[in-house]
């Protein structure tokens, strides 16, 4: 039976899953690994660069540093770089990342060309980067933003769990609302790179779901995995403190009946390495079917309904880690795949509600209670109609003082 993952509280404290709660200790660091999309290549997605985020204190600006690897894009070309509202990598073309991150409903524009300060436009409007013309050179660009935040979950600019996109064309800094930047060449999810404390952990309700999309596996020599890559997604839903944590998962590429551990990691984990005690905690243990797949619309987590993660927003920017479950101990087992937990696009169909049959991804216990209650209500209605129909047809009347009862047909007239 699966158990509550590590880093999820089971009491009513406000300890943050990514660093311990309380006042900011700084500096806070985050990263978005940039994977090529199907717009860039038909081959398997690969990392072409990264965005690094650093914030020294909760009141300081966020520094965003872009690194693109040599030969990732055409030398001399110019490309727009934006933060997008969703951190949902379920679309190979990057379409599930949604539009620009714009909580202030501002107009689109570009950062200052001189000091690269992002101000007055979309929170996600970083600007353009020109690719180095030298074959072996790394392309780098830095921006500053006082609208974004890594520390404060209540801030409109809280950026963990959001998406990062490198576009096909340059941003013209004028066309609304996209800058006419063309297709999406690379995508990533902003996730925690180091452990730090938050100013307002679990501060408010979140109407959004969370999602982690697994795009690649590590070495195929691990016995739990098949020759194909491990792929799939896990969706988490908890919009308010009173709600249970609902989980749906769909994973393929495993050996038949292979056992898999799933853990929540507060800092970066790397596929192919051994799982540490900090990563393992209390992982969920699940088993693949005869086809090497796992599909569960309502993962039955023990004690899940008692958890006090206010919303899944407090998990945005963490990582879900898939670990070989064949050994008796999680610690020392191989990490198979890692995915960042991001904000889910509500229109994403990676795990459709129609297939899961539960519109709210409720846990199995709630579903059973609902089903039993519904059947009881239907039975009561049918019984009422049956009795009522019978009473219309026959009325028993007592004849004189005799105890004999004779049925008398009641006329419809």
CA distance 361 to 238: 10
Does 341 lie in the same domain as 268? yes
Does residue 3 sit within a domain?
Answer: no
CATH number assigned to the domain comprising residue 325: 2.60.40
Does 388 lie in the same domain as 374? yes
Does 384 lie in the same domain as 281? no
Strands (E), 161-245: 163-167, 184-189, 191-192, 210-214, 231-237
- Residue 52: count of CB within 10 angstroms of its CB: 15
Mean pLDDT value across residues 387-400: 53
Does residue 222 sit within a domain?
Answer: yes
Mean pLDDT value across residues 220-244: 67
* pLDDT of 363 over the 50 cut: no
Cis ω on the peptide bond leading into residue 177 (within 30° of 0)?
A: yes
Does 222 lie in the same domain as 116? no
Max mean pLDDT among 161-170, 227-236, 261-270, 362-371 falls in 161-170
- Residue 170: count of CB within 10 angstroms of its CB: 19
According to DSSP, residue 307 is labeled -
pLDDT of amino acid 208: 75
CA distance 269 to 280: 11
pLDDT of amino acid 360: 45
* pLDDT of 398 over the 60 cut: no
Of 71, 81, 50, 66, the C-alpha closest to 134 is: 71
Does residue 247 sit within a domain?
Answer: yes
Does 105 lie in the same domain as 84? yes
Give the lowest-confidence range in 87-101, 172-186, 242-256: 242-256
Instruction: Tell me the two tokens of residue 87.
Output: 């951190």
Range of the domain at 388: 366-409
* pLDDT of 213 over the 60 cut: yes
Q: Are 83 and 127 in contact (CB under 8 A)?
A: no
Q: Are 329 and 350 in contact (CB under 8 A)?
A: no
Does residue 234 sit within a domain?
Answer: yes
Does 90 lie in the same domain as 43? yes
Confidence of residue 86 (pLDDT cuts 50, 70, 90): very high
Mean pLDDT value across residues 242-268: 82
Does residue 12 sit within a domain?
Answer: no
- The pTM for the full model equals 0.74
Does 260 lie in the same domain as 139? no
Does 257 lie in the same domain as 135? no
Number of domains in the chain: 3
Does 293 lie in the same domain as 224? yes
β-strand partners of 284: 262
Mean pLDDT value across residues 93-114: 86
Indicate the residue among 192, 222, 240 that finishes a domain: 192
Indicate the residue among 166, 192, 218 that finishes a domain: 192
Angular region, 269: left φ>0, alpha ψ -120 to 50, beta rest: beta
CA distance 219 to 241: 39
Q: If you average pLDDT over every residue of the chain, what do you get?
A: 74
3-class secondary-structure state, position 293: coil
Does residue 23 sit within a domain?
Answer: no
Q: Are 151 and 159 in contact (CB under 8 A)?
A: no
Does residue 94 sit within a domain?
Answer: yes
Mean pLDDT value across residues 265-275: 79
Does 155 lie in the same domain as 33? yes
Does 179 lie in the same domain as 214? no
Does residue 20 sit within a domain?
Answer: no
Does 39 lie in the same domain as 165? yes
Instruction: Tell me the two tokens of residue 260.
Output: 């898999």
- Helix ranges (H only) for 121-213 are none
Give the lowest-confidence range in 12-21, 22-31, 78-87, 156-165: 12-21
């Amino acid at each position: 039976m699966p158990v509550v993952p590590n880093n999820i509280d089971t009491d009513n404290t406000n300890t943050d899953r990514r660093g311990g709660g309380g006042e900011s200790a700084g500096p806070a660091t985050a990263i978005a690994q940039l994977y090529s999309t199907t717009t860039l290549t038909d081959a398997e997605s690969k990392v072409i660069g990264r965005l690094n985020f650093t914030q020294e204190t909760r009141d300081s600006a966020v520094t965003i540093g872009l690194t693109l690897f040599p030969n990732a894009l055409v030398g001399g070309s110019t490309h727009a770089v934006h933060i997008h509202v969703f951190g949902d990598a379920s679309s190979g073309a990057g379409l599930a990342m949604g539009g620009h991150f714009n909580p202030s409903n501002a107009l689109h524009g570009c950062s200052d060309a001189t000091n690269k300060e992002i101000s007055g436009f979309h929170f996600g409007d970083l600007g353009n980067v020109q690719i180095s013309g030298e074959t072996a050179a790394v392309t780098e660009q830095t921006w500053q933003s006082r609208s974004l935040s890594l520390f404060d979950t209540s801030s409109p600019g809280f950026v963990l769990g959001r998406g990062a996109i490198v576009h096909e064309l340059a941003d013209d800094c004028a066309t609304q609302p996209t800058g006419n930047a063309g297709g999406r060449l690379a995508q990533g999810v902003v996730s925690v790179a180091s452990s730090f404390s938050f100013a307002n952990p679990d501060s408010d309700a979140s109407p959004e779901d969370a999602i982690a999309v697994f795009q690649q596996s590590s070495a195929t020599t691990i016995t739990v995995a098949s020759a194909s890559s491990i792929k799939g997604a896990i969706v988490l839903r908890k919009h308010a403190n009173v709600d249970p944590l609902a989980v749906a998962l769909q994973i393929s590429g495993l050996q038949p009946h292979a056992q898999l551990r799933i853990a929540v990691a507060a800092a970066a984990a790397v596929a192919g390495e051994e799982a540490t005690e900090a990563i393992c905690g209390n992982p969920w243990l699940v088993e693949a079917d005869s086809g090497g797949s796992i599909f569960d619309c309502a993962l039955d987590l023990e004690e899940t309904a008692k958890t006090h993660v206010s919303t899944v927003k407090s998990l945005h920017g963490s990582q879900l880690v898939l670990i070989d479950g064949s050994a008796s101990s999680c610690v020392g087992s191989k990490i198979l795949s890692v995915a960042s937990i991001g904000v889910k696009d509500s229109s994403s169909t990676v795990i459709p509600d129609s297939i899961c049959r539960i519109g709210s991804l409720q846990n199995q216990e709630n579903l059973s209670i609902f089903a039993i209650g519904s059947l009881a209500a239907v039975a009561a209605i049918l019984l009422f109609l049956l009795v009522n129909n019978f009473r219309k047809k026959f009325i028993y009347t007592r004849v004189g003082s005799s105890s004999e009862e004779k049925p008398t047909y009641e006329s419809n007239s």
